[in-house]
Structure 1
Amino acid sequence: MTITTRSSRLALPNKALLFDVEVLSGELQRVKDHRDRRGVRYSLADILLIGLLAKLAGQTSSRAIADWAQLRHRELSHLFGLRHQRMPHYSTWSRILAAAVDPDEVEQVIGHFFAHQVSRRLAPGERHLCLDGKTLRGTIPLGSTQGVHLLAASLPKEGVVLAQVQVSTSGSEVSAAPLLLATLDLRGTLVSGDAIFASRKLSLKILQAKGDYLWMIKENQKQMYQDLQTLFEPPSVRPGWSAPPTDFRSASSVNKGHGRRERRQITVSSELSHYSEWPGLSQVAQARTTTNQRAGEGGARGSVWNHKFADLGGDPQTPPGTCSRALGHWCDPFRRNERKLKDGEQGESSLTTDRVMWGAIPHPLGERGNAAPSR
């Protein structure tokens, strides 16, 4: 069993994500059981529910789930009214998860359940949806360079993944993103993504679905990138003349700790919205982070992150508002080593990386802490 001692630095949401276990059990009854009815001792809904609770408790493999459940067999048997107090053996867990269910069906049921739980507590316009992809660790066959790659749409603050889809390679994320978003209600939702998703076509689809977007901009969007470079480049001012007026609004903060000093500054502007051909553009932003860190006897060392964003979010946001939206998705441009989008403190660097075997394909257990708090 995986021992999960939480870090004292773990930032939990202000509001707990509460859900009724009995209601979730009822939803799991809809998942089709592909086992032969003869000799079945445990209902599929009970198995999936116990497995999900184990995943929420930090268990990251089928064996760890089996150990976790066995240590709590009395409590779980009483809670779910099971006929057998003894929990399934590890091999039973592996066999059921490998052949008894369709993983896509499980993810759809659990994803819709938690999406409903989250939507009940969010005010209109508060939902922030992140697009991100991840190649699952341990899925690259010997002699190959490609493993199982997933594209997920998640709510970063709530730590919930609403939907995900397997893609052939990381380059396929762009073509898969519209299909993934088409399964979701985007009304009043801000969709954010890395530069690979920054395209006029996808932005227009989000606008047509009554949503908003926030993209990181890099050289793949050459014209927009050049416009941003020109906009935020310090003007060349001749002696005796003043700089041209701008509508720039800025905010900054400084963090210190463990020999590290980090200064974040974000500057937003609405000037490009008047003439840019980008659909629905409301404002753009430049986020700049300077980090200085002691390096022992070698003296101090430093690094600079400089990112630019295209933002549509209804009315133009204040700098702190834009910064919080950007940080909601891109924790890592500022804290690259601390990013745990879905995996919390559970030993993985990002997104969907816990695995149990569904047939021959590694797959997350349902929506694993697709329900678990991420930070």
Structure 2
Amino acid sequence: MAITIIEALQQVKDFRAKRGQRYPLWVILLLVVLGTLNGCRSYQALEEFAQRHYQALVNHLGLSCQRLPSDSTIRRALMGVDFAQLAQVFVNWAKPYVEYDELGWFAIDGKGLNGSIVAPCEAHQQFVNLVSVFSQSQGIVVAMESYRSNQGSEIEVVAALIRALDLQAVTYTMDAAHCQKNG
């Protein structure tokens, strides 16, 4: 039996100290998911989304808070969350809802995440990359993995994603960088 998105988000380890917590981490993550699905592209937009839908969210989720998290609370929470764990929890939650189309097409691509650069003045900039596998027939991302530019390569991550998906008779499209003889 599949679990709900809330049960899945509750599996993400809360890195915060217990003292001073106003909101469970899963509430903040759920607001990010719902807000993003509704077109929110900034922390301020997520806060405004939470304010607009306060009554419905509090009633439906059974929360007893006077207000929902501010943009700065959301930002601090997202900065500390282990993205690899969050991505794995999300993929595990979504897996039962995804029908893998045998003989289907899957696009794989990696992108550097805006705003993730560490030490921008150094010759070799360090940033977070996200590699995703997109199902052409369903129009959804079926798997994703992140890595730091100084700790891995897109080629390694793509190979690991393909092994993990273990799909037969499908076609993958990806950048020419993946056309390695020994890769």
TM-score normalised by length of structure 1: 0.42
Asked if the contact 1:59/1:65 (under 8 Å) is kept, the reply is: yes
Distance in 2 (alpha carbons) for counterparts of 1:112 and 1:63? 29
Q: Which residue of 1 aligns with 2:60?
A: 79
Matches within 5 A, 1:130-169: 130-140=107-117, 141-142=120-121, 144=123, 146=125, 148=127, 149-156=129-136, 157-168=138-149
Q: Aligned pair in 2 of structure 1 residues 139, 165: CA closer, same or farther (>3 Å)?
A: closer
SS at 2:65's partner residue? coil
Relative to its length, the structure with more helix (as a share) is: 2
Q: Percent of aligned positions with the same letter in both sequences?
A: 32
Distance in 2 (alpha carbons) for counterparts of 1:93 and 1:109? 19
2:166 pairs, out of 185, 205, 208, with: 185
Tell me the amino acid that sits aligned with residue 95 of structure 2.
A
Q: Aligned pair in 2 of structure 1 residues 55, 126: CA closer, same or farther (>3 Å)?
A: farther
Distance in 1 (alpha carbons) for counterparts of 2:92 and 2:171? 19
Tell me the amino acid that sits aligned with residue 32 of structure 1.
K
RMSD: 2.7
Q: Which residue of 2 aligns with 1:30?
A: 11
1:114 pairs, out of 77, 83, 94, with: 94
Tell me the amino acid that sits aligned with residue 27 of structure 1.
A
Q: Aligned pair in 2 of structure 1 residues 110, 98: CA closer, same or farther (>3 Å)?
A: same
Asked if the contact 1:118/1:158 (under 8 Å) is kept, the reply is: no
Q: Aligned pair in 2 of structure 1 residues 76, 42: CA closer, same or farther (>3 Å)?
A: same
Distance in 1 (alpha carbons) for counterparts of 2:29 and 2:72? 15
Tell me the amino acid that sits aligned with residue 108 of structure 2.
L
1:128 pairs, out of 88, 95, 105, with: 105
Q: Deviations over 1:247-282 (max 9, x none)?
A: xxxxxxxxxxxxxxxxxxxxxxxxxxxxxxxxxxxx
Q: Aligned pair in 2 of structure 1 residues 161, 142: CA closer, same or farther (>3 Å)?
A: farther
Distance in 2 (alpha carbons) for counterparts of 1:34 and 1:172? 27
Quote how far apart the aligned CAs of 1:185 are: 2.8
Report whether the alignment pairs 1:175 with 2:156.
yes
Q: Deviations over 1:129-152 (max 9, x none)?
A: 222122233445256564523332
Q: Which residue of 2 aligns with 1:104?
A: 84
Tell me the amino acid that sits aligned with residue 155 of structure 1.
S
Quote how far apart the aligned CAs of 1:107 are: 0.8
Relative to its length, the structure with more strand (as a share) is: 1
Q: Deviations over 1:204-257 (max 9, x none)?
A: xxxxxxxxxxxxxxxxxxxxxxxxxxxxxxxxxxxxxxxxxxxxxxxxxxxxxx
Matches within 5 A, 1:323-362: none
SS at 1:182's partner residue? helix
Distance in 2 (alpha carbons) for counterparts of 1:178 and 1:200? 13
Distance in 2 (alpha carbons) for counterparts of 1:26 and 1:103? 17
2:43 pairs, out of 53, 62, 71, with: 62
Asked if the contact 1:152/1:163 (under 8 Å) is kept, the reply is: yes
Quote how far apart the aligned CAs of 1:104 are: 1.0
TM-score normalised by length of structure 2: 0.80
Asked if the contact 2:135/2:142 (under 8 Å) is kept, the reply is: yes
Q: Which runs of 4+ in 1 moved over 3 A?
A: 137-140, 142-147, 199-202
Quote how far apart the aligned CAs of 1:174 are: 2.3
Quote how far apart the aligned CAs of 1:187 are: 3.2
Matches within 5 A, 1:171-250: 172-202=153-183
SS at 1:183's partner residue? helix
Asked if the contact 2:106/2:135 (under 8 Å) is kept, the reply is: yes
1:50 pairs, out of 31, 36, 50, with: 31
Tell me the amino acid that sits aligned with residue 22 of structure 2.
R
Distance in 2 (alpha carbons) for counterparts of 1:126 and 1:47? 38
Asked if the contact 2:84/2:145 (under 8 Å) is kept, the reply is: no
Asked if the contact 1:54/1:65 (under 8 Å) is kept, the reply is: yes
Q: Report the count of equivalent residues.
A: 177
Asked if the contact 2:143/2:161 (under 8 Å) is kept, the reply is: no
Quote how far apart the aligned CAs of 1:31 are: 1.1
Unaligned runs of 5+ in 1: 1-19, 203-375
